[in-house]
């Protein structure tokens, strides 16, 4: 490793990347719902969930490695990745709820 890099840097960036992708897709889904395009919103939420699944898989891999005795570096970057993922999960759940509300309020066609 070079100075300034961590052992798990690639995994950390995977968590950040997939979490960010999930957040972006969830907000696109909300925008689609605001336009009453619920089919598109549903597809985007599904894609967001897949991205969160990938981030969670990487997170689980790191947790399991630590449980199996591989010391994990506690870095600001790792903390940021965890915070980023937690926020993405929370926002997706909130956006899913908002979409359900918008569906109820949508004009009947």
Residue with structure tokens 């798990």? Answer: 8
Structure tokens at 75: 């870095």
Task: Look up 80 and say whether it is catalytic.
Answer: yes
Length of the chain (residues): 109
- Is 43 marked within a binding site? no
From the candidates 56, 80, 84, 97, which is the catalytic residue? 80
Question: Using CA atoms, how far apart are residues 108 and 54, in angstroms rounded to an integer?
Answer: 37
Burial bucket for residue 75 (CB in 10 Å: 0-12, 13-18, 19+): middle
Active site residues: 80
Query: Residues comprising the binding site?
Result: 83
Query: Residues comprising the binding site for Mg(2+)?
Result: 83
């Amino acid at each position: 490793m070079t100075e300034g890099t961590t052992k798990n840097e690639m995994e950390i960036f995977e968590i950040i990347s997939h979490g960010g992708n999930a957040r972006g897709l969830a907000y696109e889904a909300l925008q689609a719902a605001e336009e009453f395009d619920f089919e598109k919103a549903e597809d985007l939420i599904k894609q967001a969930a897949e991205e969160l699944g990938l981030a969670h898989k990487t997170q689980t891999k790191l947790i399991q490695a630590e449980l199996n005795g591989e010391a994990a570096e506690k870095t600001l970057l790792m903390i940021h990745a965890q915070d980023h993922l937690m926020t993405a999960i929370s926002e997706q759940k909130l956006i899913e709820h908002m979409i359900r509300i918008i569906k109820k309020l949508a004009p009947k066609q």
